[in-house]
Structure 1
Amino acid sequence: MEIKAIITGSTGMVGEGVLHECLQHPDVTAVLVINRKPCGVTHPKLKEIIHKDFFDMLPIAAQLHDYNACYFCLGVSSIGMKEPEYTRFTYDLTMEVAKTLQTLNPEMTFCYVSGAGTDSTEQGRSMWARVKGRTENALLNMPFKAAYMFRPGFINPGKDLKNTHGFYKFISWMYPFFKRVTPNYVITLSEIGLAMINVTKNGYPKHILEVPDIAKAAQSI
């Protein structure tokens, strides 16, 4: 299967890692990244659109046709935010992008990065988990060809990526220990990217992928 993927958030840690895997993978033949600022990557497969307002996708809609995957890695931290603001930049923004892409590409597979602990009931005490859960639920109810929610825990970013969060750089040396002690909570950035590619190609029995599912999907051929 030939994959033509749109990636959001490629100037962040997860998006950069997913972009790296896509550019290396033989089944991914074209990649479009949509960013507010340049990602600084050049590659024969890669096209970039600089777009400042993700709440209004109409100005770039004509350039979004003929893609069969979206790897949505764009997100903000909930630290210091009230629920209405976090909802705007998480739920509302994601819905604007997703609705535009689904209309233009009804056979698209949509992969969304949320996080371990996301609350599918939308009723829990954790504000970010409720909002992420609401976003996941809305995406799963949209008429994409398929939608998959990715819930990574601790991520080992690997080497040679420039957008790794300082926190991960500081403790990445502990990844082997975390992997041994809490194997169901840690994953590599490479595995996340490969899993997205593989579920696009082959599907997956579950539409919400916790860490063990991400690891399993990354290994499928």
Structure 2
Amino acid sequence: MKIKVIITGSTGMVGDGVLLECLQNPNVEQILLLNRKPYGIDHPQVKELIHSDFNNLSSIKEELMGYDACFFCAGVSSVVMSKEEYFRLTYTLTLNFAKDLVAINPEMVFCYVSGRGTDSSEQGRVNWAKVKGKTENDLMRLPFRAVYNFRPGIMGPTKGAKNVKGAFKVIEFLYPFLRPFNKTYFLTLAEVGRAMINVSLHGYNKHVLEIQDISFLANNNQ
């Protein structure tokens, strides 16, 4: 079986790494990059669609039909951002996007990149963790074929990625030395991408995927 996937956030490091893994995977036959600014790629498997308003997909509905999975890698940091703005860009935008998408492709698998330490109870003191937890919980209530929430920790960038910036350049250099000492905390973006592909093809018995689950899915073709 081959799948057609939508990827958001490819102009960021996570989406960029997931895209590069999809391009190398024989089970992915078609990729739609849905971004608010151009990634810039010329590849026979890839179509790029620029859309400024992720809160409303009605004007591009026809172009989103027929896809098997969405790898939602778009996201923002909570650093130097008000609680209200972080909620709007993390919860409200993601849920509005997903609600529109499930109406178009109800048989789709939706993979959401959350983060290690996300608070499923929505009751803790850490704001970003509560917001991510609420986002995960409400995504799982939508009638997709399946929703999988990915909670990676530190991720090693993919070689050749275009969008590795700041501290992640240091992580890229140190990663080969750090991972052997703590395989339960460090992942590569290639592993995150492979895990998304494999869970879309074969499913999994959990819908909140911690680092160990992501590693298992990445390294075991079911």
Per the normalisation by structure 1, the TM-score is: 0.97
Name the residue aligned to 1:5: 5
Report what 1:178 is aligned to: 178
Q: Deviations over 1:108-136 (max 9, x none)?
A: 00000011111101111111111000000
Structure 2 residue aligned with 1:187 = 187
Aligned to 2:15: 15
Helix, strand or coil at the partner of 1:101: helix
Which SS does the other structure have where 2:170 is aligned? Answer: helix
Indicate conservation of the 8 Å contact 2:10/2:73, yes or no.
Answer: yes
Question: Which residue number corresponds to residue 64 of structure 1?
Answer: 64
Q: Name the SS of the counterpart of 1:144 in structure 2.
A: coil
| Whole-Å separation in 2 of the counterparts to 1:40 and 1:48 | 8
Amino acid at match of 1:204: Y
Q: Which amino acid is the alignment partner of residue 127 of structure 1?
A: N
Q: C-alpha separation between the residues in 1 aligned to 2:26 and 2:161?
A: 20
Greater mean alpha carbon deviation, residues 189-198 or residues 163-172: 163-172
| Residue of structure 1 equivalent to 2:41 | 41
The separation in 2 between residues aligned to 1:121 and 1:34, in whole angstroms, is 31
Count matched residues: 221
Distance 2:220 2:128 in 1: 31
> Would you say the 8 A contact 1:72–1:113 is kept in 2?
yes
Give the aligned partner of residue 149 of structure 1.
149
Match of 1:217 in 2: 217
Equivalent residue for 2:121? Answer: 121
For 1:55, the equivalent position in structure 2 comes to: 55
Alignment of 1:69-218 (within 5 A): 69-218=69-218
Contact in 1 for aligned 2:156/2:171 (Cα 8 Å): no
Whole-Å separation in 2 of the counterparts to 1:176 and 1:31 = 30
Task: Give 2:81's aligned amino acid.
Answer: M
C-alpha displacement of 1:71:
0.1
Deviations 1:25-47 (A, max 9, x none): 11111111111111111210111
Deviation at 1:205, TM superposition (A): 1.4
Identity, % of aligned pairs?
A: 55
Partners of 1:105 and 1:29 lie apart in 2 by 18
Write the distance in 2 (CA, Å) between the matches of 1:201 and 1:118: 25
One-letter amino acid of the counterpart of residue 189, structure 2: L
Structure 1 stretches of 5 or more lacking a match?
A: none
Distance 1:7 1:201 in 2: 16
**Contact 1:113-1:149 at 8 Å conserved across structures:** yes
How far apart are residue 104 of structure 1 and its match? 0.7
TM norm structure 2:
0.96
> Unaligned stretches of 5+ in structure 2?
none
Contact 2:57 2:101 (8 Å CA) reproduced = no
The CA RMSD over aligned residues, in Å, is 1.1
